[in-house]
A and B are shown apart, each in its own frame.
Chain A
Amino acid sequence: GEDVEQSLFLSVREGDSSVINCTYTDSSSTYLYWYKQEPGAGLQLLTYIFSNMDMKQDQRLTVLLNKKDKHLSLRIADTQTGDSAIYFCAERMDSSYKLIFGSGTRLLVRP
């Protein structure tokens, strides 16, 4: 079955690194995504990774994928107050355009 799980809350100090974790159950997932939702706004794609990759880096963002454990993480280096938002992990199979979302992790960055 399809299920994506995330912890609900993470608090870090400004300048520290943040690591947001996600687990998924469907091993046939082809694409895995991280979306960001700022207060009062829709979701914006931050980054994505193909299931045949282990890591992807994009400026301050690093995505790690452990296919064996079905574990995805998003690391934000030098976290800023503007990074405070809800972060959603999502998966999609190649055969479908349907996105399965996790519950979202609320990141709070303290000054």
Chain B
Amino acid sequence: DVKVTQSSRYLVKRTGEKVFLECVQDMDHENMFWYRQDPGLGLRLIYFSYDVKMKEKGDIPEGYSVSREKKERFSLILESASTNQTSMYLCASIIGRGNTEAFFGQGTRLTVV
């Protein structure tokens, strides 16, 4: 059974804290993504990675960075958390060939107070 696992379901952090959201996939997929989901806005792409140590900005990268040191792990970093980063964060992975399904993690609901 394929799996994308996000390290936390719920997180509460203080403004200004550095926050790490971790995502691990066990499918040997090349491509991994971080989205944030907000009501009425759907899913917006923050960053994606198409290979180890490779990354590209998505539509809303400001205030975020990412790290992909190993193929199976893609980390989203909030350098200095702010209240407008309170959201649901979803990680996804896709194999690097052809049209295949994107597999999603269960999501991390982050609240910044």
Given contacts A41-B107, A42-B107, contact A99 B102 (CB under 8 A): yes
Return B31 CB to nearest CB of chain A, in Å: 5
Q: Is the CB of B90 within 8 A of A42?
A: yes
Residues 25-56 of B at the A interface (beta carbon under 8 Å): 31, 33, 35, 40-45, 48, 50
Given contacts A48-B99, A103-B42, contact A97 B104 (CB under 8 A): no
Residues 62-113 of B at the A interface (beta carbon under 8 Å): 90, 92, 94, 96, 99, 101-102, 104-107
Return B4 CB to nearest CB of chain A, in Å: 7
B interface majority secondary structure: strand
Return A5 CB to nearest CB of chain B, in Å: 9
Q: Which residues of A contact B33 (CB under 8 A)?
A: 98-99
Return B113 CB to nearest CB of chain A, in Å: 22
Q: Is the CB of A98 within 8 A of B45?
A: yes
Q: Is the CB of A42 within 8 A of B41?
A: no
Q: Which residues of B contact A53 (CB under 8 A)?
A: none
Q: How many chain B residues touch A (Cβ–Cβ < 8 Å)?
A: 24
B58 at the A interface (CB under 8 A): yes
Q: Is the CB of B43 within 8 A of A101?
A: yes
Q: Which residues of A contact B99 (CB under 8 A)?
A: 30-31, 48, 50, 92
Q: Is the CB of A45 within 8 A of B107?
A: no
A24 at the B interface (CB under 8 A): no
Q: Is the CB of A44 within 8 A of B104?
A: yes
Q: Which residues of B contact A44 (CB under 8 A)?
A: 104
In whole angstroms, how far apart are the Cα atoms of A62 and B79 in the complex? 44
Given contacts A31-B99, A42-B106, A43-B90, contact A97 B31 (CB under 8 A): yes
A-B contact pairs, 8 of them (CB 8 A): A33-B102, A42-B4, A44-B104, A88-B42, A97-B94, A99-B45, A102-B42, A103-B42
> Can you name 8 extra interface pairs (CB under 8 A) apart from A48-B101, A101-B42?
A4-B42, A41-B107, A42-B104, A42-B105, A45-B102, A50-B99, A97-B94, A98-B45
